Structure 1
Amino acid sequence: MRPRESRKMTALTSMMGMEVSLDPMEIVGAIDADGRCAHWHSALDVVANKCATCGKWFACAWCHPADHAFGQIPLDEPAVMCGVCGHQMTFHEYGTECPSCGAPFNPGCKLHPELYFQVSD
Structure 2
Amino acid sequence: MMKVIGSIDNHTRCKHYHTDIDIITIKFKCCDSYYGCYFCHEEEADHQPIVWSKEEWGTKAILCGNCHKELTIREYQDCNYKCPNCQSHFNPRCKNHYHLYFE
Gaps of 5+ in 2: none
Deviation at 1:66, TM superposition (A): 4.5
Correspondence list, 1:26-105, <5 A: 26-64=3-41, 65-73=44-52, 74-94=56-76, 95=79, 96-105=81-90
The structure richer in helix per residue is 2
What TM-score, normalized to structure 1?
0.72
Structure of greater Rg = 1
Gaps of 5+ in 1: 1-23
* Amino acid aligned to 2:71: M
How far apart, in 2, do the equivalents of 1:28 and 1:55 lie?
11
Using CA pairs under 8 Å that are at least 6 residues apart, name the structure with larger relative contact order, 1 or 2.
2
What TM-score, normalized to structure 2?
0.84
Deviation at 1:102, TM superposition (A): 0.7
Residue identity (%): 38
How far apart, in 2, do the equivalents of 1:38 and 1:82 lie?
17
Which 4+ stretches in 1 moved above 4 angstroms? none
Instruction: Provide the alpha-carbon RMSD of the alignment.
Output: 1.3
**How many residues end up aligned between the 2 structures?**
95
